[in-house]
Amino acid sequence: ATFGTLSDRLTETFRNLRTKGKLTPADVDGTVREIRRALLDADVALVVVKEFTGKVRERALGDEVNKALNPAQQVVQIVNEELVAILGGQQRRLQFAKTAPTVIMLAGLQGSGKTTFAGKLAKQLEKEGHTPLLVAADLQRPNAVNQLQVVAQQAGAAVYAPEPGNGVGDPVRVARDGVETARRQQHDVVIIDTAGRLGVDAELMKQASNIRTAVDPDEVLFVIDAMSGQDAVNTAKAFQEGVDFTGVVLSKLDGDSKGGAALSVTSITGRPIIYASTGEGLDDLEAFHPDRMASRILDLGDILTLIEQAQTAFDEAEAMKMAEKLATEQFTLEDFLDQLQQMKKMGSMKKMLGMLPGMGQMKQQLDNFDDKEIDRTEAIIRSMTVAERRNPKVLNGSRRLRIARGSGMTVTDVNQLVQRFDQAAKMMKTVARGGVPNIPGMGPM
Ligand code: GDP
């Protein structure tokens, strides 16, 4: 799939990072170097890679990571944010004209997926209640007009095409007549398909530029094949200089592309990606969301594994102390209380995760992670004497009743707490043996 290798590489990089508690500058450099290589191998443009890794490095060496509860996790978050940024930040929707018809012109190389996209967009607009007219101004490629008529029919949209032998050879006129027709027939959107070439050439640019001048479109969408690798940068730049465009359509994002074009085009041109085309079918069109795409690249399924690990190792120093206590069998309810408070600090993680899509099971577990429950536990432990905290074995029935009254809880609550403390003690044993424990109150992970 698109981004497959890049995702794997980034996840692997973070996997190496997660075992660290504090991050040294050398750790950060190593990580940034791996990210750089992964991006370059994915055909992301060099300038974009440089800028991206520069920002990640600067932030990763800064305070937000130094002071983070889990530095590795914080670095992942930074990479995520910077990915969203190079993908354009906020979602950009198609813009409609104040007075109809909205004119949308398509530009791009031959085979980039323009005609297919024209059909997809028409279909989607129809669904939204618009009445698009497709204009066949690609008079270059044999059969292009016919192809547009076919997709228009599939999309259930109207087409304006020059009669064979009439107006052929003048795409500017066809485009202008198309817009005129839309106005007359009260179509509220016009989608103009233009000619592409297999490579960028001056004549193609001139023609596209003339069409643009003639119809003054509200949007010029540059369609680019996601598989086009390093060429993507030059093609995008050439179209920007030759015609300029207001937005980008990434096509063939369903294919096996490395993803370089997707990650480069917005940074290189300053133009947002508006749509992602993800198949040959007319329904295979998605509005482009930079945040979702970043999540996809970072393969959040695996990032979640990281977070899981972060939870078990939330504070290495603290865990070491616990392990020591355990070794000398000094792990007490007071330590347990400390540990719970550590977990409470992680509550902010829940909020962060809540913003990420596709969290599934993990999210549910986090929802079960309840700050209030920790507060209640705290109240119970605080109602115990020091002797009881240090040796819960002395907690007989009458002591439990006293503690329940003192903390405003029930005896059952107290019993459950003691039980959970036993579990926690077992967990500490597991940690000491180097295993992955279950965290009480959060269910098995
Ligand atoms: P145009 O020359 O720019 O108009 O490109 P076309 O629309 O004719 O598309 C070229 C080829 O790419 C056709 O075979 C399309 O079926 C295919 N194609 C277009 N968009 C997509 C897409 O999103 N995914 C896949 N897999 N194929 C696509």
Question: CATH number, domain at 173?
Answer: 3.40.50.300
Q: What share of the chain is helix, strand, coil (3-state, %, to 5)?
A: 60, 10, 30
Q: For the purposes of burial, counting CB atoms within 10 Å of the CB of 396, is it exposed (0-12), middle (13-18) or buried (19 or more)?
A: exposed
ipTM: 0.99
Same domain, 106 and 84: no
Does 301 reside within a domain? no
Q: What's the 79 CA to ligand 1 centre distance in angstroms?
A: 32
Q: What's the 148 CA to ligand 1 centre distance in angstroms?
A: 12
Does 439 reside within a domain? no
CATH number of the CATH domain containing 34:
1.20.120.140
Same domain, 79 and 190: no
Does 307 reside within a domain? no
Does 150 reside within a domain? yes
Q: Of all atoms in ligand 1, which is nearest to the CA of residue 278?
A: 23
Quick check: 127 and 119 in contact, CB under 8 A?
no
Peptide bond into 444 cis (omega under 30): no
Q: Distance (Å, rounded) from C-alpha 186 to C-alpha 116?
A: 24
Same domain, 58 and 146: no
CATH number of the CATH domain containing 380:
1.10.260.30
Q: In the chain, how many H helices and how many E strands?
A: 21, 8
**pLDDT value at position 427?**
64
Does 293 reside within a domain? no
Kindly state if the Cβ of 114 falls inside 6 Å of ligand 1.
yes
Same domain, 378 and 236: no
Q: Distance (Å, rounded) from C-alpha 11 to C-alpha 26?
A: 19
- How would you classify the pairing of strands 219-225 and 247-251? parallel
Q: Which residues contact 428 (CB under 8 A, 6 or more apart)?
A: 322, 323, 325, 326, 331, 437
Q: Distance (Å, rounded) from C-alpha 359 to C-alpha 338?
A: 29
Of 51, 61, 215, 202, the closest CA to residue 137 belongs to 215
Q: What's the 252 CA to ligand 1 centre distance in angstroms?
A: 7
Residue 402 neighbours by CB distance under 10 Å = 17
Same domain, 207 and 149: yes
Q: How far is CA 293 from the centre of its chain?
A: 4
Residue 192: strand pairing partners: 105, 135
Q: Looking at 90, 114, 146, which one is the last position of a domain?
A: 90
Does 28 reside within a domain? yes
- Asked if residue 100 belongs to a known ligand binding site, the reply is no
- Asked if residue 251 belongs to a known ligand binding site, the reply is yes
Burial state string for 84-103 with b = 16 or more CB within 10 A and e = fewer than 16: bbbbbeeebebebbeebbbb
Q: Distance (Å, rounded) from C-alpha 42 to C-alpha 39?
A: 5
Same domain, 147 and 75: no
Q: Distance (Å, rounded) from C-alpha 239 to C-alpha 244?
A: 6
Same domain, 235 and 138: yes
Q: What's the 222 CA to ligand 1 centre distance in angstroms?
A: 14
- pTM for the predicted model, two decimal places: 0.70
Q: Of all atoms in ligand 1, which is nearest to the CA of residue 109?
A: 3
Residue 236: strand pairing partners: none
Domain count, the chain: 3
Does 298 reside within a domain? no
Kindly state if the Cβ of 177 falls inside 6 Å of ligand 1.
no
**pLDDT value at position 168?**
59
Q: Looking at 56, 90, 124, which one is the last position of a domain?
A: 90
Same domain, 216 and 140: yes
* pLDDT by position in tens, the chain (length 445): 678 889 888 888 887 777 667 888 999 999 999 999 999 999 999 999 999 999 999 999 998 888 877 788 788 889 999 999 999 999 999 999 999 999 999 999 999 999 999 999 999 999 999 999 999 998 888 788 899 999 999 999 999 998 766 545 789 999 999 999 999 999 999 999 999 888 888 988 999 999 999 999 999 999 999 988 888 889 999 999 999 999 999 999 887 778 888 899 999 999 999 999 989 999 999 999 898 888 888 875 444 444 444 444 445 556 566 556 655 566 678 877 776 666 665 554 454 444 444 444 445 555 555 667 777 888 888 888 888 888 888 889 999 999 998 888 899 989 988 887 777 677 666 655 555 444 444 433 3
Same domain, 388 and 332: yes
Q: Of all atoms in ligand 1, which is nearest to the CA of residue 223?
A: 3
Which domain range does residue 320 map to? 314-432
Q: Which residues contact 284 (CB under 8 A, 6 or more apart)?
A: 120, 254, 277, 278
Q: Looking at 40, 65, 90, which one is the last position of a domain?
A: 90
Burial state string for 407-427 with b = 16 or more CB within 10 A and e = fewer than 16: bebeeebbeebbebbeebbeb
Same domain, 193 and 72: no
Does 296 reside within a domain? no
Same domain, 20 and 57: yes
- Cα distances from 282 to residues 109, 114, 152, in angstroms, run 20, 12, 10
**pLDDT value at position 295?**
84
- Cα distances from 179 to residues 1, 176, 191, 223, 254, in angstroms, run 39, 5, 9, 21, 32
Same domain, 233 and 327: no
Kindly state if the Cβ of 280 falls inside 6 Å of ligand 1.
yes
Q: What's the length of the chain? A: 445
Kindly state if the Cβ of 108 falls inside 6 Å of ligand 1.
yes
